[in-house]
Structure formats: structure tokens, C-alpha cells
Chains A and B, each alone.
Chain A
Amino acid sequence: MSFLSILGCGAALPARRLGARAVAGPDEDVLTLAAEAAAGALEGSTADVLFLATTTSPFAERSSATWLARILGHGGRSFDVGGSLRAGTRALALAGELVAAGSARSALVVAADTRTPPPGADHEAGFGDGAVALRIGPPDPAALATLDRPQVIDDATAGFFRHAKDPYVRRGDPRLAQLQGGGAALAALRKALEGAGPVARLIAAAPDARSCIELAKSAGLDPRRALVDAVSPKAGHTGAGHALLLLAGALEALAPGEKAALVSWGDGADGWLVERGGAKATGCVARAIGRQIQLDYARYLALRGIAPRDGAEPEPWGSAALVERDLGALLRLEGRRCARCGAVATLRLPTCTTCREPTERVPHRLSRTGKVFAVTREHFYPSEEPPTTMAVVDLDGGGRLTLQQADAAGDRPLAIGDAVELVLRRLHCSGDLSGYFWKCRTIHG
């Protein structure tokens, strides 16, 4: 029975790779990845309700969902869902229920994680960082996909866990985890497939590749033909968002009308029946996979803050009040245009600096794309990854920002005239939103 439809999707993977693992850079966290994915899913539209699912919120106390809402300019309700690798699909189920009940017309479900395995652990190679966002609404065959109500098994199955004061995700008995988790997954899958007719594709967000294969076999499917997973081999298991990221990736692989089962693992399992709709895939997952900067293990340990540092680097001063008052608009790319001369201002000055008069200014949505007007690379600005490229960017449609180049180490050097896109990153750890600002990067694809 049709439950919800996916209207838009976005994905964000860090460009840095340790082997096949996508690993967040020093300026990335759950919030920046979530914001990037969410912007892709919204594409300028809005949602009535926002969910953020993660096991690695920047805060133990404080709602990351409301922060994300602030960044996105989302004015509706917002909820944090956490505590489980299944947080992403749990949030999708909750959002679906709100939409089904008519409590919300649309919802944005964002899931992101930056989980750190213990250095040297057997399971280290399988973990990745990333985010996914799905904008959902009531069932609509013209949408990207339509999902039935999930079959849910909530159970304290063995598997990965992290104690409150431990920075590292530990693994329970792997055999027990495969038995318990695999059992729950198979049960959820079987229930989801009841009465569905033939379903040849399986989207399995198991914690390891072997469990995916076993699940397919147990369900009577040929793993090589059935499994749809563009993400795990290219980025690793991306945590709470993994099932939804696999789903977003599958939208790029499934033909219109094609059906698939989606299974999400962790503290039980849930099973979903997915039918690909008529809307054209956005290609967001392929694009997110496309950017790659290879790290060696020593660099990874340094960037992840695992290896001890040489000394204290200077940190910019931050002020929540100042950002809230004067710069909060810039986090949402809200500029202003002079009602008299039309000049676009990115800064909220009391006077139009073109008219030189305190003229009326009207809201002007700043573009997320622009062209490099001038550029330099700063070799002495304190950074985990010097040099810091600074680009003076004239935005398409007006307004100028001067921004660091994101992921510059893996990109070609910016040059005057290059087209760039804006991406939110964390400039420093001020403990509030004053640490987050835009960077720019070349446009891929």
C-alpha cells in the first residue's frame, strides 16, 4: 500500500578518501554534510517538517536539526532522530506517518554521519562519512519513487555500538551480529515483499558486504543481479544515512516502474517496498561520488584529530550574537538589493554603498554559483591543509563573496573566470553557528 513518495533527493560525500572510505575533512561535520545534501533535495522548495538523523551529532545536548533548520531557513517543525544506524529509515518512517496523517504536506528527511572506528580495527576499512536528504510527500506515481509503509522490527540486536564517552565505534561479536541482524533483516524483507509480486532488486544497507550477499541468497535472489549499491564500494558504510543513500543511488539505477526492496539494519531492521516513479533521476549520488582526494593513513589520523598535533593553532574569535544579528542571513544566502539603484549587497550595511544613501533594500536571494574574479593562495594562514586558496567570487545574479576554496588539495587551482559553486563548511569550532560559513569549489559534471 503506497505510503509516501520521494520528490527530491540530495547527497553529500566528503571528497577525501582513505582507500574506499569517504572521510570528512577538518572543515566538514554532520551539519555541513547535511546542509549540502538538504540543499540538493530542496532545490529551492520548502518542506513542512524537517528530520535530521545521525549518531554523530556535533552535540550531545542541543538540537542539530534546529541548527540545520536555521541554516536552511526552514521555519517548520524539526526533529532529531539518533541512537541507531537505522535512524535514517526510522526518520523516514516517522516523516511518512506525519504526511500520511495529513499533519504535514511534505517533509525533508536528512541523515548524516561521521563515525570514527578505532584506528587499526578490523572494521576500520568499511566505514565512511556522508549525508543524504530526501524530500517526501504523499504518494505520486510521477515522483522519483513511491514507497509502501515499512515493515519494522525493533530489537536489541548485536552489532556496532559506541559508549557515550568513547570517540570510537566498537564492534560486538561479529558472528552473533550477523545471525541476529541478518535474521531481523530477512524477517523484515519477507514481510515487505508479501503480496508484492516479483521483485528482482535488493537495496541492502547491511553493515558488511557478506551480510548483503547472505540476505539476497536467503531471499532467493542472485546477489550479483539483485543487489543495487553504488555507494558502499566507493565510500564505505555511511552510518545512519546509509540505507537512504543507497536508496538515492538506486533511483539512478532503477528503470521507471521497476520495484526493489530496501532493507535497513541496526537495532533490528526495517523492510520497504520501493517502486521507481516517472521523474528523472537527479544524479546526486554519482556527482557526490565523483570528487575524490586520496589521503594516506598518517594524513587521515592528523585530519581526524586522532594523531597528536604539533601545537595549538590560532582559532578565530566567534560570537553567536554577532552572527545571528549581522551574518545569519549570509548562512542562508539572503542578500539585499537596493530599491533605488539595484545594487546587490551581501553584507547588511545600514547604507547602500553604491547610492551612498540609506535607501530601502529588498530581499535578494544570492545564487550558490558564481565566477572567480580574483584569487590567491595563502601559504601562511594556519590550516590543516595549507595553502588556503582565497577566491573573490562574483555571484551569478549579483553580489560578491570572498571565500576559501573547499577541498582545494584535490581540485585544480582556481583561476580567474572559473565557475564555482558554494558549499557550507565549518571554519572554526566556536561552539555555535558562528563557526559555519561558505566555501567555494569548482563545479564537477
Chain B
Amino acid sequence: MGRRAPDRQVAIVGAATSRFGELFDQSYDDLVATAARGALADAGIGARDVGAAWLGTAFPDAGVYRGRSGMDLAAPLGLFDVPITRVSNYCATGGDAARAAQASLLSGECDVALVVGVEKLRDRPPRESIVGMMVETGDPLLQKGFTAAGTFAVTASRHMAVHGLTREDLARVSVKNHAHGAKNPMAHHRKPVTIEQVLASPMVADPLTVMDSCPTTDGAAAVVMVRAEDARRFEAPVFVRGLGLSVSTGWDLPFFDGSHDLLSFRATRVAAERAYAEAGIDSPLEQIDLAEVHDCFSIVELVTYEDLGLCPAGGSAALLRSGATAHGGKLPVNVSGGLLSCGHPVGATGVRMVCEVTLHLRGRAGDRQVPGARLGLTHNIGGPGAVAVVIVLGKDAA
């Protein structure tokens, strides 16, 4: 594991997302088509140019039972007779789909890869979607009583006990990201919020409130990827400088194996180590210009600061309070609004983050542009801190 050589790189040459929100007027197929066609048009190619494709949908059974196989990408696009694989890896689904595309491109299996992440959750009320999945499926006994919020809230309880994290620190994550999201026309929530509003919003899983939690959202995102050597033929390519994915524990183990400290997500640390090594990053806070990190719940963004090496263990609240991670700070985090504003259509989220960073590296992010961005990072953590993906994207090839 070392620096990724230029001839072993791939590039993003087309990127697009659907709107994110409660899209009652759009079907799963509509979302797929909107994102995929947008990305293809952005790359200046058509569906017939695609050599292989990946469809990231994490939870078909919590949604509309679509996305169980590649055929749910083929049909909406009429993209037949090419290999398509459905990818599912919890919240790292989108990033893992990009990893599969990278491997295929570098192996020479295909020359143009299409990655689409999509989740259609809001055809059901939120309680019957992800919450319903946690209640009704999975092991009949283990973790019963948890929703996704609770599995991260216990980590918040540890940070409060060990590092003195406060309820207000958590709220500040939400305030920052909602302020960012107000400038993102594609986001689910587009209103700034105050600390008082976050604190006053209904409790979901102590200490996390509704406004510490991402909403239940529909959305899709897509990217077109080619080998770096072919990227010159496209306008404004963005290079995948490093990509690490790690599965570092199991679904039940954090809660049934006492070796887990519930302070840190090892998967993020391992994935970041690989991505950083490939991209030649040794001082992320200094080198990276913007980051889209997983903030499904406010606590997760803070833990991620520490796991990505932006601050020492227990230093995340101080880093947040310093303003370094707000727009205009040293390393703006989640200038899209993050999952807290954009929502979290699970399979789409990782791809959406790549689209967001691509916009900034191309200098096309409009009101929310991070000036002069040359190097960006995306991060997702899935399951109970079990699977993580970190992608480093550059305006330039290595």
C-alpha cells in the first residue's frame, strides 16, 4: 500500500444528482434516469458508450423493493447487454460502487463506467422505512430496541462521559450543516437552524434530537468514470487520487463484544489510512480543501473528525467550535449541507458526495463554492461504525 501511480488512476468525467427530498412525484426509475442521464450528458456521452455499470441501493426492502439487482438500472436506461452489478454495503454502498468501477476500469474490463446510487425510501412513512427495517427484520433478539439513531447515540453517550462532549456541541454540527444546506438547491432541507431550535426539537435517541438526525429522503446520484489516461478527452476531469474501504467490525459486535470502546470507528481510520497513503496525504487538515463526511447524526461528524486525523481523540468539539470546518474555515466540511440537510438516500449518498466535491474541484459550485479547491475528500461510515469508505479527489492527477 503506497502512493497510487498516475497510470493506476481513474477520473470522474461526468457527475449529476437528482433533487433530494420527499419526492412523491418520482419513482425509483425516474430517480435512476435523472441522475444517470445527467451524468452521461455532463460527460458528453450516451448510454450506449457505457461499458459496465454499478447500481448502489442499500435497502430495497425498506423502500420499494427496487434495486435488488443490476436489472433495475438497465430497464430505466434501456442499458442492456452490458455487465451491471448491484452493490450493497450499508452507507458505504455508493463509495463501494465507485471502488468496483475503479477496479473494472483498471483491469481493462471496461473503458467507460457508470456508477449510480439511488434509494427510494419515502414512498413509506419514515417509521415504516428504516425504523421498520430495524424493528421487523434482522436478528429476532439482538439489538431489538435500537433504531439507527440509538446505535450512534450510545457513542455520543461515551463521548459525553469520556471527552466532556456537550449537547450544544452536537447541535453546532447541525447548525453548521443546515447553514451550508441553505445554499444547496438540491438539498432536502434548505433552512438555517439555531442551536436553540436543535435543542428544542423532539428527542429521537438521547442525546440526539430530530435535528441531529438526517431525514428520510429519496434521491439519486451518478458519476461517469474513465481511466486517467483517457480523461483528457473529457472536459474538467476530476481524479480519484486515493480510495480506501474497510470493514472493521460486524453488525452486532460493537454491542456484544467488549473490545469496542464506542468512541471511534476503526473502519474510518483504516479506510483513511489507505486513501491517504495512495494520495500522499500526511497532514489532512493542511492538505485537503473540502470534505464531505458522513453526518447521518451530528455525533458521527464529530467522531469522523477524529478518525480522519483532523484533530486528536476528544478534540472534535474544539475543532468544530474553532470554525475550521465551516464554510470559509480551514477545511470546510459538508458545504453541501451534509446528510443532515441533503437527507440520506443511503445508496445515493456516497455518490452524491463525489458529485459535490467534483463540483467544487471544477469551480462550479456557485454560491457555496470553496474558493480554489484542489483536493477534496468524501467519507461514509456504515452499519454500527463497521464499514467505511474514504475517497480523495484531486483537480489534478498525481
Residues of B within 8 A of A319 (CB): 140
Contact A323 B140 (CB under 8 A): yes
Contact B127 A380 (CB under 8 A): yes
Contact B157 A416 (CB under 8 A): yes
Q: How far is the CA of A388 from the CA of B155 in the complex (A)?
A: 17
A392, A402, A434: the one contacting B140 at CB < 8 Å is: A434
Closest-by-CB residue of A relative to B213 is A380
Q: How far is the CA of A344 from the CA of B262 in the complex (A)?
A: 18
Instruction: Say how far B231's CB is from chain A's closest CB, in angstroms.
Output: 40
Question: 8 Å CB contacts to A: which residues of B156-181?
Answer: 156-158, 161
Residues of A within 8 A of B145 (CB): 378, 381, 388, 390, 403-404
Residues of A within 8 A of B204 (CB): 378-380
Q: Which of the candidate stretches A93-101, A198-206, A310-318 sits at the interface with the other chain?
A: A310-318
Residues of A within 8 A of B132 (CB): 314
Contact B206 A377 (CB under 8 A): yes
Residues of B within 8 A of A318 (CB): 140
0 or 1 for each of A389-406: is its CB under 8 Å from B? (1 = yes): 010101000111111100
Q: A382 at the A/B interface (Cβ < 8 Å)?
A: yes
0 or 1 for each of A302-325: is its CB under 8 Å from B? (1 = yes): 000000000000111111001100
Residues of B within 8 A of A400 (CB): 255-258, 260
Instruction: Say how far B15's CB is from chain A's closest CB, in angstroms.
Output: 34
Question: 8 Å CB contacts to B: which residues of A320-378?
Answer: 322-323, 327, 330, 343-347, 349, 353-354, 373-378
Q: How far is the CA of A346 from the CA of B205 in the complex (A)?
A: 25
Q: Which of the candidate stretches B146-154, B222-230, B323-331 sits at the interface with the other chain?
A: B146-154
B137, B142, B202: the one contacting A317 at CB < 8 Å is: B137
Q: B128 at the A/B interface (Cβ < 8 Å)?
A: yes
Question: 8 Å CB contacts to A: which residues of B113-156?
Answer: 127-128, 131-132, 134-147, 149-150, 153-156
Closest-by-CB residue of A relative to B156 is A376
A347, A381, A399: the one contacting B131 at CB < 8 Å is: A381
Contact B144 A427 (CB under 8 A): yes
Closest-by-CB residue of B relative to A399 is B258
Q: A265 at the A/B interface (Cβ < 8 Å)?
A: no
Contact B157 A376 (CB under 8 A): yes
0 or 1 for each of B201-227: is its CB under 8 Å from A? (1 = yes): 011111110000000000000000000
Contact B140 A428 (CB under 8 A): yes
Residues of B within 8 A of A381 (CB): 131, 134-135, 145-147, 150
Q: A51 at the A/B interface (Cβ < 8 Å)?
A: no
Contact A378 B150 (CB under 8 A): yes
Residues of B within 8 A of A399 (CB): 258
Instruction: Say how far B144's CB is from chain A's closest CB, in angstroms.
Output: 5
Closest-by-CB residue of A relative to B138 is A317
Contact A316 B205 (CB under 8 A): no
Contact A376 B258 (CB under 8 A): no
Q: A430 at the A/B interface (Cβ < 8 Å)?
A: yes
B131, B153, B258: the one contacting A394 at CB < 8 Å is: B258
Contact A398 B147 (CB under 8 A): no
The answer to whether A314 and B154 touch (CB under 8 A), given A373-B262, A400-B257, A402-B255, is: no
Instruction: Say how far A195's CB is from chain B's closest CB, in angstroms.
Output: 55
Q: B396 at the A/B interface (Cβ < 8 Å)?
A: no
Contact A347 B141 (CB under 8 A): no
Q: How far is the CA of A369 from the CA of B150 in the complex (A)?
A: 23
Q: How far is the CA of A324 from the CA of B29 in the complex (A)?
A: 42
Q: How far is the CA of A181 from the CA of B144 in the complex (A)?
A: 47
The answer to whether A380 and B131 touch (CB under 8 A), given A375-B157, A390-B150, A392-B255, is: yes
Closest-by-CB residue of A relative to B132 is A314
Contact B203 A379 (CB under 8 A): yes
Contact A379 B259 (CB under 8 A): no
Q: How far is the CA of A444 from the CA of B253 in the complex (A)?
A: 30
Q: A437 at the A/B interface (Cβ < 8 Å)?
A: yes
Instruction: Say how far B297's CB is from chain A's closest CB, in angstroms.
Output: 11
Contact A317 B136 (CB under 8 A): yes
Contact A427 B141 (CB under 8 A): yes
Residues of A within 8 A of B259 (CB): 343, 353-354
Q: B252 at the A/B interface (Cβ < 8 Å)?
A: yes
B135, B150, B258: the one contacting A382 at CB < 8 Å is: B135
Contact B143 A316 (CB under 8 A): no
Closest-by-CB residue of B relative to A327 is B141
Residues of A within 8 A of B161 (CB): 416
The answer to whether A314 and B136 touch (CB under 8 A), given A379-B205, A400-B256, is: yes
Instruction: Say how far A395's CB is from chain B's closest CB, in angstroms.
Output: 8
Contact B144 A376 (CB under 8 A): no
Instruction: Say how far B120's CB is from chain A's closest CB, in angstroms.
Output: 20
Looking at A392, A427, A434, the one whose CB has the most chain B CB atoms below 10 A away is: A392
Q: How far is the CA of A118 from the CA of B262 in the complex (A)?
A: 49
Q: How far is the CA of A322 from the CA of B140 in the complex (A)?
A: 9
Residues of A within 8 A of B137 (CB): 317
Q: How far is the CA of A437 from the CA of B157 in the complex (A)?
A: 24
Instruction: Say how far B63's CB is from chain A's closest CB, in angstroms.
Output: 16
Contact A430 B140 (CB under 8 A): yes
Question: 8 Å CB contacts to A: which residues of B242-263?
Answer: 250, 252-253, 255-260, 262
Contact B154 A375 (CB under 8 A): yes
Residues of B within 8 A of A390 (CB): 145-146, 150, 154
Residues of B within 8 A of A402 (CB): 142-143, 146, 154, 255-256
Instruction: Say how far B160's CB is from chain A's closest CB, in angstroms.
Output: 9
Residues of A within 8 A of B139 (CB): 322, 327
Q: How far is the CA of A347 from the CA of B147 in the complex (A)?
A: 21
Instruction: Say how far A313's CB is from chain B's closest CB, in angstroms.
Output: 8
Looking at A318, A354, A377, A399, the one whose CB has the most chain B CB atoms below 10 A away is: A377
Contact B141 A392 (CB under 8 A): no
The answer to whether A398 and B131 touch (CB under 8 A), given A353-B253, A390-B145, is: no
Instruction: Say how far B232's CB is from chain A's closest CB, in angstroms.
Output: 45
Residues of A within 8 A of B208 (CB): 376
Residues of A within 8 A of B155 (CB): 374
0 or 1 for each of A402-437: is its CB under 8 Å from B? (1 = yes): 111000000000001000000000011010001101
Residues of B within 8 A of A373 (CB): 158, 258, 262
Q: How far is the CA of A373 from the CA of B143 in the complex (A)?
A: 15
Q: How far is the CA of A428 from the CA of B202 in the complex (A)?
A: 27
**Interface, chain A (partner B; CB < 8 A):** 314-319, 322-323, 327, 330, 343-347, 349, 353-354, 373-382, 387-388, 390, 392, 394, 398-404, 416, 427-428, 430, 434-435, 437
Report 24 cross-chain contacts, Cβ distance below 8 Å, ordered by A residue: A315-B135, A344-B258, A346-B256, A346-B257, A347-B253, A353-B250, A373-B158, A374-B158, A375-B154, A376-B149, A376-B154, A376-B205, A376-B207, A377-B203, A381-B134, A381-B147, A382-B131, A382-B135, A392-B262, A399-B258, A427-B141, A428-B144, A434-B141, A435-B140
**CB-based closest 4 A-B pairs:** A376-B153, A402-B255, A374-B154, A400-B258
Given contact pairs A314-B128, A374-B158, enumerate 6 new A-B contacts (beta carbons under 8 Å): A315-B135, A373-B258, A380-B127, A380-B147, A381-B145, A401-B256
